[in-house]
Amino acid sequence: MLTIYRRHRKACKHRAKGRDHRHCQCPIWVDGFLGGKEMRESLKLRDWQRAQEVVREWEANDRRDAKPERKMLKDAWTDYIADMQARKLHRETIRKYKTLESQMVDFAARRGLVFLDEFTLDEVSRFRAGWTDGQRSSGKKLERLRTFLGFGQKREWITKNPASDLKAPKVTLCPTLPFTHQEMIRILAAIDKYKDEFPGRGSENATRMKALILLLRYGGMRIGDTVRLSAERIEENRLLLYTQKTGVPVNNVLPDFVLKALEQIPKTAGNYFFWDGTSKLETIVGSWRKRLNRLFELAEVSNGHAHRFRDTFAVELLLAGVPIERVSILLGHESVRTTERNYAPWVRSRQEQLEADLTRAWGLDPVIAAQTSQTRGTRRVHGKNGRRNSHIPKPENWRRGWDSNPRMEVLQTSRGFLSCWFVLPLRPRT
């Protein structure tokens, strides 16, 4: 049998009353026998009711449930990163989780949090409030946070995933627009200005920049796949590679002038066009992004970035009548739904169908029909000799056309025919 009591502290004013007094906030201890073994230790509780519930549960099971050790935040992240590496996840995915780890550890240090179970819903909300990412990036980061905390919940480091109670941010879809033909001309023309900014290696830099732009525009690849492209991935005029983001194979045909631009580039180690093959790919991609931003400034192209070349590649194909299913293959998308979500408004066949539907619907509209007839009648009021033409549509002829629609009725005002019209629902005819 177990007995609970309060072990009074030295500063407690009820200390003289002994262990029978329990109306204070001193630590609660337990004393007695459980499972044939003597027990005398602290319950690490101050709530008397909660202490009674714990002791009754121990006596009912005739044993004490061992409390799992609290998991430190850094140790939890170490185990999770090791698990991702064991699952052979892409290094770019692991890099994003490491970025979240760094931000989460810094937040915990500022708040004085050490263990994973100290991240309650309030703390997770404060952590999310400090993010400066955009709508979509913030939503993706919240998904990664939920995944990490769910990993800890399955291993019983925490009892509940607090991030599951956070609502995802509202994402407003703002698809990027492709470059216009004038913008592409200005971008290519700005390469000469870009060359003048580097007197030493300006010619070589301009050659690489021109080849990069043409490959982005007519290869339809992401900038990461473009920068890591090597000469072995080009056979005659065909581009063969697996995309870095999704691992989907891409098999595109490059124009001759793009191939000539690539041939003019001096190869580095490993036959790479824009990368030495040894430094981090993320670093060199960031360097090329900065160079492109400078080129867009010289070309006076607003909101220019590398992915707009890929958008231009897709949109030009769709406007040329290429089916969206084939465009999805050329872009290296895993599903055609991804292509539809980003480029459906540019599908030429759908746009032509929408225009045909609108034209057919307008042809059945009585208001448009009346206005069209009025325009035709007005043009024939005066003949070539300036005399008044007797062929003027009579009001009854107009009414006959309107009455052909059983759901509408047109009323004429007292100011004159066709000066003002009211469209009212017609009562059912008997």
Question: Do 226 and 307 contact (CB within 8 A), yes or no?
Answer: no
Report the mean per-residue pLDDT for the chain: 81
Neighbour count for residue 396 (Cβ, 10 Å): 7
pLDDT at 408: 38
- pTM (2 decimals)? 0.58
Q: Do 373 and 315 share a structural domain?
A: no
The tens digit of pLDDT for each residue in 311-340 reads: 999 989 888 888 888 888 888 888 888 888
Rounded to 10 deg, the angle between the 91-111 and 121-129 helix axes is 110
101 and 12 assigned to the same domain: no
Tell me: do 140 and 214 sit in the same domain: no
Query: Are both 239 and 213 inside the same structural domain?
Result: yes
Q: Residue 13: inside a domain, yes or no?
A: yes
Domain boundary among 311, 346, 381: 346
The letter for the amino acid at 112 is G
158, 204: one domain: no
d(CA 258, CA 265): 11
Looking at the fold, whether 212 and 326 belong to one and the same domain comes out as yes
Q: For 238-258, what is the mean pLDDT?
A: 77
Residue 175 maps to a domain? no
What's the CA gap between 243 and 40, in Å, rounded?
Answer: 64
| 328 and 221 both lie in a single domain | yes
**Could you tell me if 250 and 190 lie in one domain?**
yes
Which range of residues forms the domain containing residue 323?
181-346
* CATH number for position 215: 1.10.443.10
111-120, 176-185, 272-281, 413-422: least confident range: 413-422
Domain annotation covers residue 40 = yes
Q: Same domain for 271 and 199?
A: yes
**304 and 384 part of one domain:** no
Tally of structural domains, the chain: 4
CA–CA distance, 198 with 200 (Å, rounded to integer): 6
